[in-house]
Structure 1
Amino acid sequence: MQVIVNDEPVTVSPHTHLADLITQLELPSQGIAAAVNQQVVNRQRWDDYALQANDSITLFSVVAGG
């Protein structure tokens, strides 16, 4: 199935979870945040957050500072 990650189409297997996508994209699990269909998904839910076809996923770096 296909999802959109930061405005780019990405093919994933059915029943892919958000954590699986992060691994597939070879991204570090620390230092990034994720939103699916404009809703931020808490990191503790990534392992059980099932993606659906055509979901729009935004991945962004978390920067500490002040």
Structure 2
Amino acid sequence: MKISVNNKEVETAAVSISALVEELSLPLQGIAVAVENRLVPRTAWDGYALAEGMNIVIIKAACGG
């Protein structure tokens, strides 16, 4: 299915946020995920079903000042 991740179209076989994070080789800590501009708690990633055309934003924490 095709979804938008950080404004880029991505073809994925992932069916949940946790599967998408794993597919994209992202770290499990230090990131936040929003679907359709709503933050999804990490505890809900396994059960949050992805669908064609969803808009997902992944934010990585950064250190610095």
**SS where residue 26 of structure 2 aligns?**
coil
**TM-score, length-normalised on structure 1?**
0.88
Deviation for aligned residue 1:63: 4.6
Unaligned 5+ residue runs, structure 1?
Answer: none
TM-score, reference length from structure 2: 0.89
Q: Secondary structure at the match of 2:18?
A: helix
Q: CA RMSD in A?
A: 1.8
Unaligned runs of 5+ in 2: none
For 1:31, the aligned partner's letter is G
Number of residues of Structure 1 aligned to a counterpart in Structure 2: 65
**Sequence identity of aligned pairs in percent?**
36
In structure 1, what is the equivalent of residue 31 of structure 2? 32
The aligned residue for residue 52 of structure 1 is 51
Q: 1: distance between equivalents of 2:36 and 2:42? A: 16
Q: Which runs of 4+ in 1 moved over 6 A?
A: none
